[in-house]
Structures are given as C-alpha cells and as structure tokens.
Amino acid sequence: MDHPRVLVVDDDADVGEFLRDALSSWNYDVTSVASGREAVDLISRQIFDAALVDIWMPEMDGLQVLDEMKRHDAALEVVMMTGNPMVETAVQALKSGAYDYLIKPLNLDELQHLMQQVLEKRFLSREVHSLRSRLAEHLAVKDLVGNSPGMTRVREVIAKVSDSDSPVLIEGESGTGKELVAAAIHRQSGRNKGPFVPVNCSAIPADLMESEFFGHVRGAFSGAVADALGLFRSAHGGTLFLDEIAELSPALQAKLLRVLQEKEIRPVGSTKTHTVSVRMIAATNKNLEAVVQSGGFRQDLFYRLNVVRIVVPPLRERKSDIPALLAYFLRRFNERFRRDVKGIAPDAMAALTAYDFPGNVRELENLLERAFALGARDEIERANLPDFTSKPDAPTAAVVDALPTLDQAERDLIARALERFRNDKEQAARALGLTVRTLYRRIKKFGLI
C-alpha cells in the first residue's frame, strides 16, 4: 500500500528525528528537512499529502514556508508547530490556511489523531461542521418526539407537574433529551414568562460554585469588581435547571438544601439574604439513589429534589419512536441542506431498528446528518450509514486501518524514548510531552520495566 507522504520541516534536528520516528511507526512515509528553503525547493519537485512546519526557523520562517506551500499546492494540508505560541503567529497561520497550529512539546495522541484527520480522504466531521456554520441556524432538537408508551408517560408527567412548583428530578442516559423535558416543563408552567436558566454543574470548578450559584457583592474577593446576581437570582421568577446534579460538591449540596428549605440565598460577601422564587429541576445520567447509597450525594437533598421523578427512557427501549424521529430529522435536514430526501430505504431502516443507540436520540440525529453530508439524495440508503458494529465515531478511512493501535504506537515510542535517554525518565517524559507521573503510569501499564 502507498503510504501517505509527510514532509517535516524543523531546524531542530532532535524534533525532526522524533517526528520521523513517530510518523514512521504509524506507517507514514516521512521526509525531514531542516530549513524552509529546502522545504520549498522540495515541494516543487515532489508531491506530499501533508506537511508539519515549525514556525520559528532562521532565514525563512514557517509562516513564509506556509505561504509558499499554499501557493504551490493549495490542497496540501500544512500543520504549523511552535514552542513559543503567540497570538500573532496563531492568527496569521490560520488566516493563511494552515490546517492546525500545534504547541510544543507535541502530544503524541494529539499528533496521531490529527494526522489521521488530515489524511482521511473525506473530512467528514469537518465537512459537517463547515456546512453547519454556513447554514448556521438553531438546529438542536426542540421537541419531544414519539408516541411510544415510554414517551407518552413522560409527557403525561410533564403536564401534571407543570402546574405545581415542586422540584423535579429527571433521570436518563446521555442524549435522551433531559434538557428538553426540563424546558417543556418550564414552557407549560406558570413561570413561562420568566427566565429558564440551564447550568451544567460538572463544568463549574468547585471553588467557584458558590459565587456562580448565589452571586457576590462587589469586593467580596479580589476580582469581584461589581455585584453579580448569580444563577439563582438570574432565574428569579423562572426555572433553574441543574444538569449533572450528581457532580455538585458536598458543600454546595448543603447550601442547595438550605435554599430549598428557606427559599432565600445570601450572595458571597453579603450580610443580606434575598428571597428567591425559583423552581428547581435537576437532572442526572446516573442513578441518583445509588449515588446516595454510596455516600456521594446527600440523602436529605435527594428527598427534596425527588418529589417528582421523570425517567426518560433510552432509545433502545422505545424503538417504536424511531420512525417518528426519522421523519422529524428528515424534515429538518431537508430544510437545512435544501434537499428532498423522501425516506429511508428498507435495508437502512432494518439496520437502524436493529441498532442499540448507546448515544440515544443525539446519536440518531448525528447519523442522519452524516448521511446528508455524504450526499444522500432520494432516500437514505444503507451505504449512507456507518458500520454499526464499529464505534460510531471511529475513523473509517483505509489509511487508518493500516495503522497500529494507539496503544501499540505509544508503547513503541515510550520504549524508544527510554532507550534514547538511557532510561532517564525525566528526559524521556519531556521528549514525549508527558508528565513524569504519567510516564511512570504508562511504563507500568505497558510492562516496560
């Protein structure tokens, strides 16, 4: 098989050698040169599939090399590298059409993934991305679709709880649409004129949670330049949707419990309390009761939140909804891609209904979008869908198949780095772009001692 050809341009011989080793071990055909001039000279005589170019080089710098390369072959994918990242070079590299901008020390996982991406014949995810950005509009699913017994029950409970002000706990796997359920409750409730404030509890650093939730007064801490409302007061008169509630720190759990009991909050640094009228809807993809049992979540808070519990069923338990979901997404994607796909071919339908959808509705949506991006016209055919036996996100190009697994390549490189630096773990770790601790862990994992 013809190996993809990669040109490495770096005046640092060690980096050049390192990259040559790494890329050859992944079955790339590597040519390495030490100056921009040599590189420019070479690309006029040889064809390459991709280039890795250092930005800081004497004589002719990497950005000039990039311009020359693009002038010569606009389709050549050029990845810029730098040990000294700066706004100017990052902006200029991207504006000149670089494929990406890597910061040294290079991370091998990142590099391997990037090279696969660069060389995959179809830049599928990227195509989907640029298509989406050209047609930017709000695409997220807004409706709860389906009439399976499971979804009908969910809708009944939503209708029932909308009138009351009691907290709601929503449980369901990722991609089942928990936020949609929360938004539907808000929309159907008397609070629908008020704000709906969603927050992902797992994304907020623990030590910043208190001020995010309860706000702060000016001067409460350095950086508190003005009073901030925080989430609760921002949601006053409306609904606060706490996603991934199981990730809340114990301290915050205690404070949240108090808010549920007292209906008032005290901003950080303030002596005054504020009464808030907020309906709380919490959601989790875990079994919160089990988290309580293992001691990760307060029981009293669980009881307070669990007044009404809605379990959103996974797609595999409501497969009868698949046709309705498909019709829904076909309509949306037809609009967006300006196509007229009329339906799903029987073999494609059979494959879809036989599949388990670990990523639930979101995965189904992504599959259809991918089919559209791949050019589905009249109807979605089996060939427009990925091989369900493999991981849905795994790259599919032949180039990838020829490569060793990440584990193999990693083991190989670590062994070589240890050899080169005569078992000096610190030096080897630096060369590999790993922390010493991580290196030790990998050494143990791969049994390299």
Partner 1 sequence: MDFRESASRRWILVADGDEASARFVASFLLQARLRAYPTARGLEAMQLVGRFRLGLAVVDVHLLDMPGCDLVRKLRSIEPALPVVMTTGDYSPATEVQARQLGIIQYIHKPIDLQRLDRVVSRIFSPDGETAPRITVASDGNAQT
Q: Which residues of this chain interact with partner 1, rule CB under 8 A?
A: 85-87, 90-91, 94, 100-101, 103, 107, 110, 113-114, 125-126, 129-130, 132-134, 136-140, 174, 195-200, 202-205, 207-208, 212, 222-229, 231, 233-235, 244, 435, 437-438
Q: Of 68 and 244, which has the nearer Cβ to partner 1?
A: 244
Q: Of 183 and 417, which has the nearer Cβ to partner 1?
A: 183
Closest CA to 372 of 363, 382, 384: 384
Q: Of 160 and 437, which has the nearer Cβ to partner 1?
A: 437
Q: Of 261 and 438, which has the nearer Cβ to partner 1?
A: 438
CA dihedral (222, 225, 229, 231) positive or negative: negative
Least distance in angstroms from the C-beta of 420 to partner 1:
23
Compute the distance between CA of residue 7 and CA of residue 48 in angstroms, rounded to an integer. 7
CB 385 within 8 A of CB 351: yes
Q: How far is CA 86 from CA 82, 83, 90, 119, in A?
A: 9, 10, 6, 27
Q: Of 125 and 306, which has the nearer Cβ to partner 1?
A: 125
Least distance in angstroms from the C-beta of 75 to partner 1:
15
Q: Coil, helix or strand for 344?
A: strand
Q: Of 343 and 392, which has the nearer Cβ to partner 1?
A: 392
Closest CA to 279 of 187, 173, 200, 171: 187
Closest CA to 395 of 80, 116, 66: 116
Q: Of 342 and 445, which has the nearer Cβ to partner 1?
A: 445
Closest CA to 291 of 360, 244, 243: 244
Compute the distance between CA of residue 135 and CA of residue 57 in angstroms, rounded to an integer. 40
Least distance in angstroms from the C-beta of 318 to partner 1:
22
Phi-psi region of 372 (alpha: psi -120 to 50; beta: other; left: phi over 0): alpha
Q: What are phi and psi of 119, to 5 degrees?
A: -95, -5
Query: How many other C-beta atoms can be found within 10 angstroms of the C-beta atom of residue 22?
Result: 23
Q: Of 233 and 298, which has the nearer Cβ to partner 1?
A: 233
Least distance in angstroms from the C-beta of 198 to partner 1:
4
Rg (CA), the chain: 27
Least distance in angstroms from the C-beta of 119 to partner 1:
16
